[in-house]
Amino acid sequence: MQESKMTATLEMIRRFLADISDEKAGMWLVTRGRHVAAFAERDMDLLTQGERLKFYGLMEGFFPRQFKRMLAVRLEKEKDPQCIELLRAIAAMERTGGGE
């Protein structure tokens, strides 16, 4: 991913995670799902653990097309135990269509 795209994506994700009422950041993200997916695959660790937790919580609803790919990649790359636990729970929901 180009440096400028990565920086812009990081900034918009941070803005939106800090405040979901930030409409500009929200619009930016929903119209650029591919950038976000590329970011999630390569540069996700630039976000803090808290930010990643928030991001994983919204991933499915906000990026439905890229969700499965992002989930698979993050399950592979994520190192933080709390994040891994959340990703596993989301994966379980995704597999079963809801709940354990």
Partner 1 sequence: MKDTPLVISDPFPGNTPTVTYTRGLDLSATLQGAGGIGGLLARSHGYVSGTGAWSSHNFYQADAGGNITAMADNHATSASLVANYRYDPFGRIFYQSGTLASANVYRFSSKEQMPNSGLYYYGFRFYDPLTQRWLNRDPLGEPGFETMRGVEHGFWRPVLVPTELFEGANIYAFVRNNPISYYDAGGLESIEEIQECLKMLDEHMRNAPMHSPEWYEAQRQKSLLYGQLRKQLLKRAVCRTACRAGAVGASAGVGAFTGFYIQDEVNKGFYTAGLLFWDWWYGNNQYEIGINF
65 — phi, psi (to 5°)? -75, -35
**Hey, is 78 helix, strand or coil?**
coil
Instruction: Find the binder of partner 1 among 27, 42, 48, 50 (CB under 8 A).
Output: 27
Cα separation, 19 vs 30, in Å, equals 15
- Shortest CA distance to 74 belongs to which of 32, 35, 45? 45
Q: Is 26 in the site for partner 1 (CB under 8 A)?
A: yes
Cβ within 8 Å of residue 27, ≥6 positions away: none
Least distance (Å) between residue 77 CB and partner 1: 20
Token pair for residue 62? Answer: 């906000």
- How far apart are CB 97 and partner 1 at their closest, in Å? 4
Binding mask 38-77 for partner 1 (x = CB under 8 A): -------------------xx-xxxxxx------------
Selected from 23, 50, 69, 72, the binder of partner 1 by CB under 8 A is: 23
Q: Does 18 bind partner 1 (CB under 8 A)?
A: no
Q: Least distance from C-beta 50 to partner 1, angstroms?
A: 12
